[in-house]
Amino acid sequence: MASTSPNPAQCASRLRNSVAELARQLRSGSATPEGPSIAKLSVLGQLYRRGPCSPTTLAAHERVKLQSLTRLLAELEAEGWIERAPHPTDGRQWMLSLTADGTRRLKALMRSREAALADAIGATLDADQRALLLQACELLDGLTAALGDRASTASSS
């Protein structure tokens, strides 16, 4: 009897498409005319998750050239989202971090998007589906960890 279970490549393609579209919806809901752009949100999210870092490190995390990030960082600083401080060991560099107001504003945006997602989940999924979604989140966390392990193994080789 032939197996009817989907192969890993089919799962990977479907998962990537679904996660990308959900992420796009969540990001575009946060990008309002008066709020930060999607590119700015990405940088702010990096600083929120990783904490203070140099522009060079931030560019590496964002996978962009430092020159591409310079203007965006200047805008974020002028808008009060981030601040610069001298690097503790390298006088040629700066450390970037979220300002207290930037953290507050970013958390408000995150709460707003999470509320919109919670509303969609409540309106779309029944209790059994919500329980299944939480199980899927555990699977996604495991996949994220496995991909992180592969990336760190590849970079140390």
Q: What residues does 95 pair with on adjacent strands? A: 85
Give 53's DSSP letter: B
Contacts of 102 (CB under 8 A, 6+ apart): 44, 76, 80, 81, 82
pTM > 0.85: yes or no: no
Q: Which two tokens stand for residue 119?
A: 């509303």
| Annotated domain spans of the chain | 35-150
User: Could you tell me which CATH class the domain 35-150 is placed in?
Assistant: mainly alpha
Residue-level pLDDT at 37:
86
User: Residues 96-112: pLDDT tens digits?
Assistant: 999 999 999 999 999 98
Q: Which two tokens stand for residue 27?
A: 């990001």
Work out the average pLDDT over 129-144.
Answer: 96
- pLDDT over threshold 90, residue 27: no
